[in-house]
A and B are shown apart, each in its own frame.
Chain A
Amino acid sequence: MTDSVRELQVTPVPDTVDAPGLGFLPLGPGVSLPRIQFAAILRDLGQRLLPWVVPVGLIALWQIASSLGWLSTRVLPAPSEVIKATWTLSASGELWTHVKVSAGRALAGLAVGGGLGLAFGLLTGSVKFFETLLDSTIQMVRNIPALALIPLVILWFGIDETAKLFLIAVSVFFPIYINTFHGIRNVDPGLIEMGRTYGLTRWQLYREVILPGALSSILVGLRFSLGLMWVILIVAETISAQAGIGYLTMNAREFLQTDVVLVGILLYALLGKLADVFARGLERYWLRWHPGYQSTVA
């Protein structure tokens, strides 16, 4: 009796499983379970490695092409050359000086522009008077591309640090401003009404309801700003600089050091990625109440 039931249960299974043997597994007396697990692990590993196949393959191809002399070093140095250049530059400490200078510029610009954007966004978002007074002006200025200001900025500030700081600050201001403004406007009015009826003071209402409600939007603005920040930094440093990654690459270009140029490009990519990881981390921490940011199911 039990045997026939088992067979009934088992027969349809092989159709749905790609490996026909699997379906009979629970019945088989001594079929090795570890082998199946091993296969599963392999398949899992394959899934994880698959996205890396193309980039690793390309780099390998690039290395081979360079080694065989198909690619001139003047066009593209071999990956091994790039690694070697990175090593030399960092060993001499030169690399870190330039990274420090560039990151300092970027962060200073972000602090000034982002801080102002946040402050103005909070102001116009919260007080109707300031919205009427300032918002249309800011929206007008927003349409000027920051890079179009370069000639004017050079006339105003020359080509030293102030010019770079100004360009970065101007460009990061708007994304943060706009997102802060909209974040505050989109706070659920029901929550604000609730806060009022529960006796929150104006400041408590701001801290408990309005700011947290606008935070996800402000963080979106921050991520946009971080992206823009690096782009503007690169352009600003390429114009003229006495230090920084831009200086490093432009200087290397003069001496046809393509490997160093490549190191600079990769450094920009790395810094950009780092900034994005940082912003995501902030999102995950500050928005951990949000179901969309809760990675683990409790």
Chain B
Amino acid sequence: MLHPHISFESSQTYLAAELGRDAGPDAEALPPQAQPSTQDRGVRLEISGLSKRYGKRQVLQHTELVIEPGEFVAIVGRSGCGKSTLLRLVAGLEAATQGSIRLDGQDVSGLREDTRIMFQDSRLLPWRRVIANVALGLPPGGHAAAADVLAQVGLADRQPDWPARLSGGQRQRVSLARALVHNPRLLLLDEPLGALDALTRIEMHQLIEGLWQRNGFTALLVTHDVQEGVALADRVILIEDGRIALDERVRIARPRERSDPLFGQIEKKILDRVLQQPGEAISPSEPLWPNTPVHGVRWAV
């Protein structure tokens, strides 16, 4: 209803083909998805009046954002604009200075069972084998589920390896599997592909998109790569100096082709908006995201 899942069927078969290449028979053995309605799989995220200050530095100011269940939202922005902070606040890793974050109406206070993060550096335990890394935090006997998810990311045959033996892309796949094995309802992606080469990145886009469509979780991706945001997200949100400066809906059918003229248009629109903002300077009179609350809320200490 919110975003056109026009090509849902086709992209799923596409994923199956993609996985079949690496995973072999395991991919076939996966149970047919009981079509999880995106409503109960994904979480609804409401952020209102969110501010975060580190000492004297204001990182986020009165951020307002609503993400519907099952939506894929990308947050882009220059480095240091506050986008990673927003992600850490949603994850419950840090507490907000002001304002609230609600998941399905519940206030976020600390870490949550149904939220998982995929970090920029894969953060695999080097002293645990791949399979044990994926099963981390699962109850005993979780190895079967872990093996299943590893097959979904195309690494079924790397189970007994040490993480040091994997390439950067493979490590991020393991890290993705580790996040998905918990069946999160909200997946937070903190520039997970920043350190990968361009080809691996495109491969990972397809993988993440496919798994998102299959599992129906809500996804929040922080990235500095506008193209990545346009390739993956239903909405691309630009944060500048701690405020939401642009909220662009991407209405391109999936799987998305970079050659699509609409793709280029949206990417250019966002990039132009990013680049028109030279560095730090921002005029307060500039029209902001319409939901910004009354400025009267700003208070001095």
Q: Show the binding face of A for B, using Cβ within 8 Å.
A: 188, 190-191, 193-200, 204, 208-209, 212-213, 215, 287-291, 294, 298
Contacts and interface: CB of A to CB of B under 8 A. Distances in A.
Interface string B79-117: 000000000000101000000000000000001010111
Given A198-B178, A199-B137, A190 B162 contact: no
Interface string B163-177: 111000000000000
Nearest to B164: A291
Contact of A209 (B91, B116, B125): B125
A201 to B, nearest CB: 9
Nearest to A193: B93
B119 interface: yes
B116 A197 contact: yes
Contacts of A209: 125
Contacts of B111: 196-197, 199
Contacts of B194: none
Contacts of B116: 197-198
CB-CB nearest 7 A-B residue pairs: A198-B137, A194-B123, A212-B127, A289-B127, A289-B162, A199-B137, A291-B164
A298 B113 CA distance: 38
B93 A197 contact: yes
Given A197-B111, A200-B137, 8 more contacts: A193-B93, A194-B117, A195-B137, A197-B115, A198-B136, A213-B127, A289-B162, A289-B164
A199 B126 contact: no
Given A190-B119, A290-B164, A199 B125 contact: no
The A interface is mostly helix, strand or loop, or mixed, namely: helix
Contacts, number: 58
A158 B136 CA distance: 54
Contact of A190 (B123, B127, B165): B123
A188 B119 CA distance: 14
Given A196-B111, A197-B111, A290-B164, A191 B137 contact: no
A291 B126 CA distance: 10
A188 B121 CA distance: 12
Nearest to A204: B137
A197 B117 contact: yes
Contacts of B117: 194, 197
A190 B165 CA distance: 20
Contacts of B178: 198
B128 interface: yes
B164 A298 contact: no
A193 B91 CA distance: 11
A294 B126 CA distance: 13
Nearest to B178: A198
B125 A212 contact: yes
A209 B127 CA distance: 9
20 contacts: A190-B123, A191-B123, A194-B117, A194-B123, A197-B93, A197-B117, A198-B116, A198-B136, A198-B137, A198-B178, A199-B182, A200-B136, A212-B125, A213-B127, A287-B127, A289-B127, A289-B162, A289-B163, A290-B164, A294-B164
Contacts of B137: 195, 198-200, 204
Nearest to A213: B127
A290 B162 CA distance: 8
Contacts of A200: 136-137
B202 to A, nearest CB: 26
A290 B93 CA distance: 29
Contacts of B125: 191, 208-209, 212
A287 B127 CA distance: 7
Interface in B182-236: 182
Contact of B136 (A193, A208, A298): A208
A275 to B, nearest CB: 24
Contacts of A204: 137
Interface in B122-141: 123, 125-129, 136-137
Contacts of A197: 91, 93, 111, 115-117
Contact of B126 (A193, A194, A290): A290
Given A190-B123, A191-B123, A298-B165, A208 B93 contact: no
Contacts of B128: 208, 212, 289
A95 B115 CA distance: 65
B163 to A, nearest CB: 8
